[in-house]
Structures are given as C-alpha cells and as structure tokens.
Amino acid sequence: MTESPVRIGVVGLGWVGQARHIPTISADPRFRLVGVADRNPDRIADFGHRRPDLRASCASTIAQIDWVDEVDAISVATAPMAHHDLVCEALARGLHVITEKPFAMSADEGRAMVAAAQLQDRRLAVVHNFQFAGSMQRLRKDMADGRLGAIRSLRAVQLGNPSRRLPTWYEDLPLGLFYDESPHLLYLLASLAGPLELARAVVVESRNGMATPDQIDGWFRAAGADYPITLSCNFVSTVSEWYLMVHGEAGLGIVDIFRDIYVLLPNDGGHATREVVRTSLAATWQHWWQHLVSGVPHILGRLRYGNDEVFRRFADAVRGDAARLAPIEGEAALRTLSLQHDIIVNADRVKP
C-alpha cells in the first residue's frame, strides 16, 4: 500500500457536498482536497470566496473541470440524475470514484457503472454511511455479545415530515422521496441480515398526486434469516424520525438514526408494573446520556454519521487495500439499487 494522500476533488456543491463530503475529506489526512466543481456559477463564486485555497471550476462534465488531471479520485455529490454520466466519465479517465446514494437512476445504469470500474480496474464506492455510525456499532457489538439473544425480527421505520429540508429535485425520482431516502434503510437491514430479496411491497399513493407516495411498506427475505424483515416509510408524517429495531429473545435494540443514539431494552416478561418502570428508566437514561454524547459533536458540526469511515475505507482501497471497500463497493450499491427497483416495479398500488 502507498502512504501518499489521495488527491481528490468534489463534484457538486449542494447541501450534501458542502456539509458532508468536503468537511469529511478535509478532516482526513489520507486525502488532499484539490478542488471543487459545480454547474452553478453562483455556487462556485460563493464557495471560491469562502475557500480560496481550493480550485473552483464551473463545469457540467468531468472534461470541463480544469483541475481534473491533478487528482486521483472524484467524489460525486450531485443529484442522482447526473451520477451515471459523471461516474462513467471519471472512470474512463482512470479516476477512482465515490458517489452519493441513490447510486443511479436505474439498475441498467448501475450495472454499467460497476462494469466501467471493473474494465478500468478502478475503485467505485457509494456513501452508504449510516452502517458505520456509532449507534450501529454499539448495536452490532450487543448482537455479537448475545445481549439481544436469538433474533426474532428486523424492522426499519421511517417517518418524514414533508415540511423539512428536502432536495429540490426529489419529485423527479421514481416514487419521489422514497427513491432518495430508502437506500439508507435497505442497506442497514441488509448489513444485519445479509442480502435482501423482496417478498411483497405495498404503495399507498399520494392523495395530492405527488410522485412521493403517502406510505410504502415492504417485506423481505434473506438467506439464513428465519424471522420477519420489514420496512415501513410514511412521507406525510407530522414528525421526522428514522429507526432500526432488532427484536431478540433477550432484548430489543433500537437505533435512532437521526440522533445517532442506540438504546437496549431488556425483555419485559409479564409487563408488570416493575418491568414497565424498568423499561422506562432504561430507555430514558440511555437516550439522554447519548443525546449528550452525540449532541455536542452535532452542535459543533463534527457528527459525521459514519461518513468518516466511508471515506476512510475509500482512501484505503485507492491506496491498495481493496478489501476495505466491500460494504460500500459498487456491487453492494447495485444490490440496494436493484431492490429499490424491485419495489417500484412489483409493489401493489392502493389509494389512500
């Protein structure tokens, strides 16, 4: 392995590029951030004033970027409609690429991206970051230590308030916001159960005629998993909350994805008063203690939600340790993408 920093540039100066990719890359000595690019000249001008140390290029393609021959890798933080063309163009130039989710706009596009990386012998990764968050690491440790006991079900729940900050382009996606946000829930379920296969899905269509449905529910199978695996997404909620729940014989593990909090609740047996109080106390002190642990970095802008580990693995893979890429490699991204399209194509549609 080489120890030289990976020279990298970021394409796309939307929220995720500026709030996640650039700060994470800038904080990691494995990288040297060379420049940024965006097709919007106002964004480029604004960013150039704030970060005069970086090259800033107004460009719509990789070829138009004036610093592109000075980097080893590209981080693609654009809207998903642009991923395929930018990724394939960068790979064709011999660059390594890490891209945001959703991986691509179709399974065919995803397969073409994976094939291009294999043809050029370049590393291709996707930002499936929450699987590396601190809360998920604590959940995995408790599962490995047997604190949850035999697993009885996995359940991911998403509640979304449509008034929160959302991308301007999400309604142009298949099933709208579901397409943009569901990769996180799907890869988290798969990270615990193994590769998922769709059993059934139900889409409750939007009562307002939007591409984003009111509700989506999915049921999945995984080899060797003899328990239910489910996903439930509601996009017209009054609150925004994302949870991953692992039900075991000995306890219930709950990951609060937005807050990066993990809570373990013991089996409450007969649900008598003593056991109910014990559950309340366990949930309360764990929640508020971890609120402090995760809340301070969040306020300081240092809570990365696993992005630091994603980019660390990408850098290690570019520098020679390709095995580090396995959970975020192109093939893993393609599995999640294909599962999304299985839901889109095969779901039962019902009116609200």
pLDDT at position 1 is 64
338 located within any domain: no
Q: What is the mean pLDDT of residues 32-61?
A: 96
Distance CA 39, CA 57 (A): 8
Within the chain, strands assigned E span: 6-11, 31-38, 55-58, 73-76, 96-99, 124-126, 151-159, 196-204, 215-222, 229-234, 241-248, 251-256, 261-266, 348-350
Q: 193-250 pLDDT, tens per residue?
A: 999 999 999 999 999 999 999 999 999 999 999 999 999 999 999 999 999 999 999 9
Residue 296 and residue 182 share a domain = yes
274 located within any domain: yes
The DSSP call for residue 270 is T
Mean pLDDT of the chain: 96
Residue 96 and residue 120 share a domain = yes
The structural domain count of the chain equals 2
Residue 292 and residue 178 share a domain = yes
Q: What is the mean pLDDT of residues 101-109?
A: 98
11 located within any domain: yes
Residue 294 and residue 201 share a domain = yes
- Asked if residues 314 and 95 have their Cβ atoms less than 8 Å apart, the reply is no
Distance CA 136, CA 305 (A): 10
Residue 336 to residues 155, 201, 242, 246, 281, Cα–Cα distance (Å) = 17, 15, 18, 20, 37
- Asked if residues 287 and 258 have their Cβ atoms less than 8 Å apart, the reply is no
Residue 260 and residue 187 share a domain = yes
Residue 194 and residue 69 share a domain = no
Q: 155-172 pLDDT, tens per residue?
A: 999 999 999 999 999 999
Domain that holds residue 47: 6-129+305-321
pTM for the predicted model, two decimal places: 0.95
Residue 93 and residue 172 share a domain = no
